[in-house]
Structure 1
Amino acid sequence: MKLIVAGSTGFVGTEVIRQALANPAVTSIAALARRVTTVPQSTGPGADTTKLTSVVCEDFERYPERVTRELAGADACIWLIGVTPSHLKKMPWQEVRKICLDYTVAGLAASAQLPRAPASKPFRFLYVSGANAERDPRKKPWVLGDYCLLRGDVESRVLEHAKESRGAVEACIAKPGLIDAPGRTGLMMKTVQTIGRSLIGLPKVDLGEMAAALLEQAVNGLEKDTLLNADLVRIGTKALANLPRYSH
């Protein structure tokens, strides 16, 4: 299968690619980002780095022909483009909304219209949101309320798009809590994680488990339309335990 990893230069995207390079079920990886995506440094001996193609796109609301040509034939997309809570104060709200909402809606629409083989299975779109994202405006969280409602709105739009596609698109919302990435967490992120654990009670998922769960769902099919943190831990743990079947 051909997999699109959107937001491929981030720490989750890098881990997804690292694992996908060693997964024989993934025959091609289109790494979509604003800058060139390089092969992860920690790839194992079973990795096939020739599967990786870096696809640079300057504007995630518009996909020129040179970009869609590289993405054509994809079977699934793991969408990791978004603004994390630790970066909220670094940009105006309209920019946050544009990145989280407009980019995702445009990316899903563009992905669903990519040329594919006539007998292809439904296109799988996995949108990575957050544990506290809220789809019901009446249940606005007391911490980062507007942000949580924004992410929840995106979730609803992704699921609605899949519903209206009449089987052409299958969508899944992944709702991780705190993603534990030892050695990759800066001071700001550590502060956010401390607040998340102590005040909000956010659950935690290991980076490797998170990436393995996303990859397993993209390759083998979606278990359900919403995966909570506990689901990601469960699926990711099982996938990592079966890693020998992905090696050469």
Structure 2
Amino acid sequence: MKLIVGGSTGFVATEIIRQALSNPAVTSIIALGRRETPVPPNAGPGADETKLKSVLLNDFENYSDATKKELAGADACIWTLAVTPSKYKSFPWDDVVKVCRTYTAKALETMSQLPRGDATKPFRFIYVSGVNSERDQSKKPLILGDYCLMRGAVETLVLDYATQSNGTVEACIAKPGVINAPGHTRPLWQKGFYALIGLPNIQVTEIAASLLDQAINGVREKDTLSNEDMVVMGQRVLAEREQEKAGVVDN
């Protein structure tokens, strides 16, 4: 399977790539970003670094023919590119909307129309959103209201595109809460704020494992994954990998 990781130098994307390098089901990884994407640290002894190719894109509203050629043949994309809730006030609102909505729409449209190795299977687009994103535009959240409505509208855009594709696109929305990892620290005020509003937690290894599972095996039970869905799925997938490694060692 050829996998595209959009926003490839980010926190979650780096872990997705790290795990994909060791996953035999993934034969090629296109790391799409504005900066060169290095091989993640601690890739592991089973990692095949030759699977990774960094593709630079300076303008996410315009995909050159050369870029399209690199993306062609992909079976799935995990799209992590966005302005996060903790940083969105640092940018003009129009820029936040452009990164979160316009770039996502353009990526989905462009990638889904490229030729694939097996055209009988749908192109899988996994969109990483957030736990408090609201699709119902009449229900503005009290906290980060405009931002949550905007991210919810993007979720609807992605799902509607898949529905209208006549089976050529399969979409999944991931709605994680606070994503943690060993050594990944946050300011005390941010930790307190997240605790105050009751955001659920997930480990970066868990969300990466669950998103990879969706990209490889397809969207099965539901097209929207809650934080708890991904915790359960991620822990199961990670446990299965450990069992597979142990089986190889025992043999």
TM range, normalised to the smaller chain?
A: over 0.9
Instruction: Return the offset for 1:113.
Output: 0.9
1: CA distance, partners of 2:137 / 2:166: 27
Instruction: Return the offset for 1:246.
Output: 6.5
Amino acid at match of 2:46: G
SS in 1 for 2:69: helix
Count of residues in correspondence between the two structures:
245
1: CA distance, partners of 2:50 / 2:243: 20
Which residue matches 2:226?
A: 228
CA contact (8 A) 1:78 1:128 kept: yes
Which residue matches 1:66?
A: 66
1: CA distance, partners of 2:53 / 2:117: 20
Instruction: Return the offset for 1:191.
Output: 3.0
Which residue matches 1:212?
A: 209
SS in 2 for 1:184: coil
Instruction: Return the offset for 1:41.
Output: 1.3
CA contact (8 A) 1:23 1:246 kept: no
1: CA distance, partners of 2:215 / 2:88: 29
Instruction: Return the offset for 1:118.
Output: 4.9
Which residue matches 1:175?
A: 175
CA contact (8 A) 1:85 1:192 kept: no
Pairing 1:12-31 to 2, within 5 Å after superposition: 12-31=12-31
Structure 1 unaligned spans of 5+: none
Give 4+ residue runs of structure 1 displaced > 3 Å after superposition: 244-248
Which residue matches 2:54?
A: 54
SS in 2 for 1:158: helix
| 1:77 has 2:74 as partner | no
1: CA distance, partners of 2:189 / 2:239: 32
Which residue matches 1:93?
A: 93
Q: Percent sequence identity over matched residues?
A: 58
Amino acid at match of 2:8: S
Instruction: Return the offset for 1:88.
Output: 1.4
Q: Deviations over 1:61-106 (max 9, x none)?
A: 1100111111110000000000101111211100000000000000
2: CA distance, partners of 1:120 / 1:183: 43
Amino acid at match of 1:217: Q
Amino acid at match of 1:58: N
User: TM-score if structure 2 supplies the norm length?
Assistant: 0.94
Amino acid at match of 1:150: M
Instruction: Return the offset for 1:227.
Output: 0.3
SS in 1 for 2:150: helix
Q: Deviations over 1:14-42 (max 9, x none)?
A: 00000000000000000000011010111
SS in 1 for 2:8: coil
> Could you say if the C-alpha distance between residues 245 and 112 of structure 1 is closer, same or farther in structure 2, counting changes exceeding 3 Å?
farther
**Of 239, 242, 246, the match for 1:241:** 239
Which residue matches 1:10?
A: 10
